[in-house]
Structure 1
């Protein structure tokens, strides 16, 4: 699966509102949008939904500065796929996406995950100097554990960091953002252009079967919509005999 979202902010009145998909910032939002759009729960979107993925639909246009006309651009993605032949030295991994909005419920032995995928940070403390970051947490049971070999977070502009903790409170990984400083693609000033990764010492971190880990997402205070706090982790049942250790980033 290759999932791509492209937001054109050229000539917009408010780039921040456009990139955060504020619903009232689109000039062609359908009149029956809230009745015809369904949220992650399968129900019509609430009028209280102010911004996020559901307002960033195909062909919607952010409000533009008066008289601005952007030339059409053709965009393409180039990628390479490489692989190795499978043998006894290849060890499969389990891939989890932990979401800071996950509202875990348990009915008997059945664990139900209710991930919201995104959330809104209220405007409290906005503009107050040295105000503490906004924190979003979720306690998530890992059904099948293993050795942690890699993890990184997915977060948006305004991110401070994303951290996962073990059930005993130990830090499993903290992923921090890199912000752009220029104008060229991949280094746009003010935007998150990368997240740091964790490659623990092989065998040093093991998550037990059923262990409850905590996903914590921290953002700078201030009103934000469409915020995400995800952590991707790779677990293995055993370690390879000849360990390859990538360069840490």
Structure 2
């Protein structure tokens, strides 16, 4: 079967109308800047546009896995702010492909700077560790782990990415932070050292059937006003919650799973098809500089491997009048 990845997002082109946010990503790689087709739709407000890109086709057969790295994808240029960014797999004519036919395990969108003297080598070899410098998020995780700006998985269709007005992710400049429930934080004097694993295995325990809880306490170097929160999780998740510290055990956001009940794309029975989104009143929750947040991921105890607990939160630097 021939598949196509489709990108859909809306963005603002008049930066005077945007309020900046920092994006915290609490967890097919697409490298921003090979699209074959695009559509641009302008809203009634002329500074907001919606764009859809169809990426390069690929084929995958029954029982097979496709791992694709798409370099220099089409993306709006200039000083913009992104309101939403969504990805799904479609067939040759643009119809949504259900998860039970082709399961989209993960996708990530990563911004990078390329050494132009190595462009041909990179495109032929897909060697991303030589000749490419990632403009990764400013989050806690180390090295190559979780460098993306956007990324989800099979739950993409049912997880809303749209930011509330008047906020948008400003690409220049932009601060991203990543919170991961596998992060083992230790201290080197006054400097926290992070050790994210990105994924983990739920240990086998025959003594009880209680849900498995994974926690991480993560210091926030830079705070802000919480305006959006959601999570990237896997099948068998019960929920994931982010707690604050300043007000003891305050729940900043809980993201709950939605499991499908039918056959149509976006509602495939038994699959994780979405995660709920938090939209707090923009000035109601402020995360302070240096505050320690607690991320708690809860899964059913079914002994899965490679589970994840990534939480995405967007913080506004300031609230507009």
TM over 0.5, shorter chain: yes
**RMSD after superposition:** 1.5
Q: Note the 1:39-54 alignment, pairs <5 A.
A: none
Q: In the alignment, what sits opposite 1:114? A: 195
The answer on 1:149 being equivalent to 2:227 is yes
Larger of the two Rg values belongs to structure: 1
Q: Note the 1:99-138 alignment, pairs <5 A.
A: 99-125=180-206, 131-138=209-216
- CA–CA distance in structure 1, aligned partners of residues 6 and 312 of structure 2: 24
**Structure 2 runs not aligned, ≥5 long:** 26-178
Does the 8 Å CA contact 2:12/2:18 hold for their aligned counterparts?
no
Moved over 6 A (4+): none
Report the Cα offset of residue 125 of structure 1.
Answer: 4.3
Q: In the alignment, what sits opposite 1:9? A: none
Q: Note the 1:173-188 alignment, pairs <5 A.
A: 173-188=253-268
Does the 8 Å CA contact 1:124/1:222 hold for their aligned counterparts?
no
* SS of match in other structure, 1:111: strand
1:189-215 CA distance string (max 9 Å, x none): 111000000001121100000000000
* SS of match in other structure, 2:4: coil
Query: How many residues are aligned here?
Result: 166
**Structure 1 runs not aligned, ≥5 long:** 1-72, 242-249
Q: In the alignment, what sits opposite 1:42? A: none
Over 3 Å counting, the alpha-carbon distance change for 1:171 and 1:81 in structure 2 is closer
1:7-66 CA distance string (max 9 Å, x none): xxxxxxxxxxxxxxxxxxxxxxxxxxxxxxxxxxxxxxxxxxxxxxxxxxxxxxxxxxxx
Q: Which of 216, 219, 236 is 2:299 aligned to?
A: 219
